């Protein structure tokens, strides 16, 4: 098992972790072990790379291809109303596993009282930009 830049064994490099929802030549998609919502999926390169910006062009293309494939499967299985798509790239951005991955998070009407601002709530004092206008 690869040790990541956070000095812990990398769970994404552990082949027992890989119950694939979809896969291609350089990446795989799997349901998150700690889902935010039903169907929360991770899209992960097979090669241990910490940052999205260190991936090859092929790996980046394969990641986004799997985002689309996973969305199609999640639409069929969970029928979400919307999605959040994002990644935490580096410790200052909140990355806790030092292996690049994309979160595909199904969203459902009523799952939060006011979803406006979405990912902007990372910085709560900057999220509610519409109410000051």
Question: How would you classify the pairing of strands 41-45 and 102-107?
Answer: antiparallel
- Alpha helices in the chain, H assignment, sequence order: 57-78, 124-127
Question: How would you classify the pairing of strands 102-107 and 22-23?
Answer: unpaired
Contact in structure between 111 and 39 (CB atoms under 8 Å):
no
Whether 103 is catalytic is: no
Catalytic residue among 40, 48, 99, 101: 101
**Which residues are annotated as catalytic?**
101
């Amino acid at each position: 098992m690869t040790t990541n830049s956070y000095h812990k064994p990398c769970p994404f490099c552990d082949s027992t972790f890989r119950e694939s929802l979809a896969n291609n030549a350089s990446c795989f998609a799997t349901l998150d072990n700690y889902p935010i919502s039903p169907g929360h999926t991770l899209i992960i390169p097979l090669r241990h790379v910490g940052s999205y910006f260190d991936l090859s062009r092929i790996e980046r293309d394969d990641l986004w291809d799997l985002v689309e494939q996973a969305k199609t499967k999640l639409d069929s299985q969970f029928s979400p109303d919307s999605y959040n798509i994002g990644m935490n790239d580096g410790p200052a951005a909140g990355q806790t596993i030092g292996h690049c991955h994309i979160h595909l998070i199904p969203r459902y009407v009523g799952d939060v009282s006011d979803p406006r601002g979405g990912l902007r709530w990372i910085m709560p004092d900057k999220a509610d930009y519409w109410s000051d206008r």
